[in-house]
């Protein structure tokens, strides 16, 4: 048996739970079971799979409160935990409605009149999902749901930092026998994730660039596809014509939602120099109005830092910035309150790209604000990054904002709002640079990436072979 792994409570700092990873043999046996069940899951047809997922949705409704409480224990925050469960329920409903249209086969004529093309697709038998700690439920299901509808079996390894939600979720899965046969969640850390890659036909990973590189390498060695969504350092550009009331509110929300612990958070802000002071004043005033969710989970809007090692990164970024001349107008440090790690919303000025807080993923409610004098400068600063996940542009004229957005090297650009991809699920997108690779998580591609296309080329007339050979 593998050694148990301690689980830290983000609000108290105490170890209050333990998980035990499966052995290599146990994991292999579970994957073998899922592979055998996948055959019936696929052959049973899409309608049966939709019915199973709709039953799952009903089971989740029954266990909704237990799931929320488990997520609160995992993350130390309440409102976002409620949002996670409700978003998961909405995702089940949305995909069940979209799947019939998205998975339709295709048949058409070819350039040769008597050759017909029939386009079909077959699912990868077993999909592995390795998910992170910042949105434990949502990111442990975002790939799982479309993979199941495509006809795959799925095994998910959530982060060892936030694993408590698995128990009530597994109870919901057990309530749907057809689903239980093809879906399971396993506990474990990095070693278990590495073992999982050795067992599956396609791997989905959400997490850091460093670990994503390891996942991609391991997948390449096995010659299996890897769908990776990695880090971000999302910029916001605020033009002179922007509505400042709207821009400051949207950027604040996009920066501090889930305590900034999101790859889609706004992490650096570029503002036209003519409105810079006014923008900063408004942003600081609004940031100071936000409170920590302390001493109880019902207090305030800003939850604790979930991962202890992330708090070390945040403190390092802040210390580096201050040492190089940055000015903190509010917040500015990591605090320990009754064992939990916390960071008040922080607005920084006098920042530049020599600072880690402007170039490395911080994953915190920290808003470094930098002035620009020309649009070219703003675009160059926004693109001066190894990342390319998403961004935001604020302008008084929509066309002006779109013209800038088209020059940004990022997958999704919010216009006159921030982090819209956290709530809008339409629109296919592909990450730029080191923010990821693989098919889109949105639209038809999100479902079809779990299937291999097959082309049936059907000869419809009795013409002697080789009909194409020159006489």
Q: What are phi and psi of 409, to 5 degrees?
A: -90, 75
Please tell me the chain's helix, strand, coil percentages from 3-state DSSP, rounded to the nearest 5. 40, 20, 35
In this structure, what DSSP letter does residue 378 have?
Answer: H
Q: What dihedral angle (degrees, nearest 10) is formed by the CA atoms of 422, 427, 431, 432?
A: -120
Q: H or E stretch including 452?
A: strand 451-459
Q: Please pick, among 152, 263, 330, 343, the residue that the annotation labels catalytic.
A: 263
HEC assignment per residue over 75-94? HCCCHHHHHHHHHHHHHHHH
Inter-residue contact 255 to 267 (CB < 8 Å): yes
Q: What dihedral angle (degrees, nearest 10) is formed by the CA atoms of 269, 275, 277, 282?
A: -70
Angle between helices 79-102 and 64-75 (to 10 degrees): 120
> Is 96 considered catalytic here?
no
Nearest to 240 by CA among 272, 281, 204: 272
Inter-residue contact 342 to 334 (CB < 8 Å): yes
Listed in sequence order, the residues at least 6 apart from 407 whose beta carbon sits closer than 8 Å to its beta carbon are: 379, 383
> Is 152 considered catalytic here?
no
Which 3 state secondary structure label does DSSP give 67? helix
Q: Please pick, among 229, 267, 360, 361, the residue that the annotation labels catalytic.
A: 229
Nearest to 328 by CA among 284, 292, 293: 284
Which residue numbers are catalytic? 229, 263
């Amino acid at each position: 048996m593998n050694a148990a792994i301690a689980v830290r409570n983000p609000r108290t700092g105490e170890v209050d739970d333990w998980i035990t990873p499966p052995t290599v043999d146990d994991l292999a046996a579970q994957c073998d079971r899922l592979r055998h069940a996948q055959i019936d899951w696929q052959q049973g047809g899409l309608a049966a799979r939709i019915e199973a997922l709709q039953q799952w949705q009903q089971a989740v409704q029954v266990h909704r409160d237990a799931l929320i409480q488990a997520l609160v224990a995992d993350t130390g925050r309440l409102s976002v935990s409620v949002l996670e469960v409700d978003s998961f329920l909405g995702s089940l409903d949305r995909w069940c409605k979209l799947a019939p249209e998205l998975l339709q086969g295709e048949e058409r004529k070819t350039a040769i009149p008597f050759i017909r093309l029939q386009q079909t697709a077959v699912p990868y038998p077993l999909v592995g999902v390795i998910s992170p700690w910042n949105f434990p439920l949502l990111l442990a299901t975002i790939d799982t749901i479309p993979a199941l509808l495509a006809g795959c079996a799925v095994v998910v390894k959530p982060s060892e930092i936030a694993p408590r939600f698995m128990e009530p979720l597994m109870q919901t899965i057990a309530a749907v026998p057809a689903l239980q046969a093809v879906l399971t969640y396993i506990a474990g850390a990095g070693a278990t994730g590495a073992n999982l890659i050795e067992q599956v036909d396609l791997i989905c990973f959400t997490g850091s660039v460093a670990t994503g590189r390891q996942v991609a390498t391991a997948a390449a060695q096995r010659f299996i596809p890897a769908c990776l969504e990695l880090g971000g350092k999302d910029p916001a550009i605020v033009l002179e014509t922007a509505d400042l009331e709207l821009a400051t509110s949207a950027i604040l929300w996009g920066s501090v939602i889930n305590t900034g612990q999101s790859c889609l958070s706004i992490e650096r802000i570029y503002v036209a120099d003519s409105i810079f002071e006014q923008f900063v004043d408004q942003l600081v005033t609004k940031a100071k109005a936000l409170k920590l969710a302390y001493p109880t989970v019902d207090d305030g809007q800003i939850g604790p830092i979930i991962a202890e090692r992330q708090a070390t990164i945040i403190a390092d970024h802040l210390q580096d910035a201050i040492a190089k001349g940055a000015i903190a107008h509010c917040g500015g440090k990591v605090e320990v309150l009754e064992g939990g790690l916390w960071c008040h919303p922080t607005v920084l000025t006098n920042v530049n790209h020599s600072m880690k807080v402007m170039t490395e993923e911080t994953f915190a409610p920290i808003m470094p604000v930098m002035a620009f004098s020309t649009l070219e400068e703003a675009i160059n600063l926004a693109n001066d990054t190894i990342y390319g996940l998403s961004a935001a542009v604020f302008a008084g004229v929509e066309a002006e904002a779109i013209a800038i957005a088209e020059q940004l090297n990022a997958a999704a650009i919010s216009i006159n709002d921030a982090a819209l991809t956290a709530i809008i699920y339409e629109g296919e997108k592909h990450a730029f640079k080191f923010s990821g690779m693989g098919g889109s998580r949105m639209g038809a591609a999100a479902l079809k990436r779990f299937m291999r296309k097959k082309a049936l080329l059907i000869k419809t007339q009795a013409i002697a072979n080789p009909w194409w050979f020159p006489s």
